[in-house]
Amino acid sequence: MIWFTGESEKGQELSIVGLRGRRSSSGELIWDNEVSEFYKEADRNVHGSQLWNNAVRLQNGFKEPFTLYHLNGLSTDGKWGRLAQIFRKSIDNGATWSEPTVIKQGIDNFHLAGDRNQPQGNAFTMKDGSLISFSDGAHEDGKGSTVNISNDGGMSWKVNTLKDGPPGIHTNGVELNDGSILTITRDKGETFGTMPFSISNDHGKTFTSTGSEFPGIGTVQRSVLIRLEYSDPNLDPGKKGRKPILLISMANDSIIANDANGVRRYISGTFAALSWDEGKTWPLKRVLSNVKSGSAMYNSAPWDKKITLNSARGQGEAYWAATQSPDGIIFLSDSRLMYSFNLGWLINGY
């Protein structure tokens, strides 16, 4: 798990730190007690990080070792602005890393001039082996976010979006079963009045966008969209063993969902939603809180804010990031708090 830390997100002192969870002989995940510096370039802002792996490539016949990928923003001249991007990888579970390489050299001036090109949201691997990374910012004549793509395992990268990307910033996406890409973005509800859903059938070159049933999000908020690697027919409403898509977002105003006790009512703050039909419908929504009575107070990120959770209210602000480990546990973090749960808990509440 990695995140940035510093006195200011725009400062030159910013550093990327990491924390490792290690499996004990019993299978329990035990987190290290101390963080370590994961990535830093002297006197440079290093804003925006993405960390993922090549498990999907291995599942689809690519002959290569298990590989971790790291993509990061790197300021060209000090503070946050004029961000380039670096890419590196590890074939020994993160013990050592290749030398960082500045990607998209010579083709990214439109981003640098606009103080954009910040890696944001998630990055993922497609079944055909493509590496997909999202960044904030668009072409000079375009709008929305941008898809960057590598078709050779990270050796070379290019900007794939031709003009207009998904509306807004902080894009998260998944590959659908037909090879298309579904994304969600943050635009404060300005485009459609709700959170934008966008579909690309050409690896992010072009997008078709619509409004969704979910509320738009804004400042100090970033949602999550991931495919769950789990296919128990007993947890699938259609009894087909499909792998659902998980959306985690925030409701600034109340929406109808299950509370921490499984009661359908108005909830607010962070919630989870599940789709078993490739994002067409989202039959299950529940608040992300396990406080079934009374309330509980926590310190959250960013900026060490105090928050209160109860049976109908989840965390109201967070730049969420999530993954699912091979044992089925979903890990969600704002870089200070760590939530962990599985599909059964989402559905049944216990």
SS (H, E, C) 133-170: EEEECCCCCCCCCEEEEECCCCCCCEECCCCCCCCCEE
**pLDDT tens for the 350 residues of the chain, in order:** 999 999 988 899 999 999 999 999 999 999 999 999 999 999 999 999 999 999 999 999 999 999 999 999 999 877 777 888 999 999 999 999 999 999 988 766 556 655 568 999 999 999 999 999 999 988 777 899 999 999 999 999 999 999 999 999 999 999 999 999 999 999 999 999 999 999 999 999 999 999 999 999 999 999 999 999 888 888 899 999 999 999 999 999 999 999 999 999 999 999 999 999 999 999 999 999 999 999 999 999 988 899 999 999 999 999 999 999 989 999 999 999 999 999 999 999 86
Q: Say yes or no: 163 and 228 in one domain.
A: no
For residue 101, the domain's CATH number is 2.120.10.10
The domain tally of the chain equals 2
94 is a domain residue: yes
User: Which pLDDT value is given to residue 114?
Assistant: 59
**Domain end: 144, 169, 194, which one?**
169
- In degrees and rounded to multiples of 5, residue 259 shows phi and psi of -85, -170
The residues with which 156 forms a beta bridge, in sequence order, are none
Q: Say yes or no: 74 and 142 in one domain.
A: yes
206 is a domain residue: no
201 is a domain residue: no
Contact 182, 204 (CB under 8 A): no
Q: Say yes or no: 39 and 144 in one domain.
A: yes
311 is a domain residue: yes
CB atoms within 10 A of CB 296: 11
Q: Say yes or no: 222 and 135 in one domain.
A: no
**Domain end: 169, 203, 224, which one?**
169
190 is a domain residue: no
Q: Say yes or no: 278 and 147 in one domain.
A: no
Q: Give residue 238's domain range.
A: 213-350
User: Which pLDDT value is given to residue 141?
Assistant: 79
Q: Say yes or no: 244 and 159 in one domain.
A: no
Q: Say yes or no: 8 and 155 in one domain.
A: yes
User: Which pLDDT value is given to residue 107?
Assistant: 65
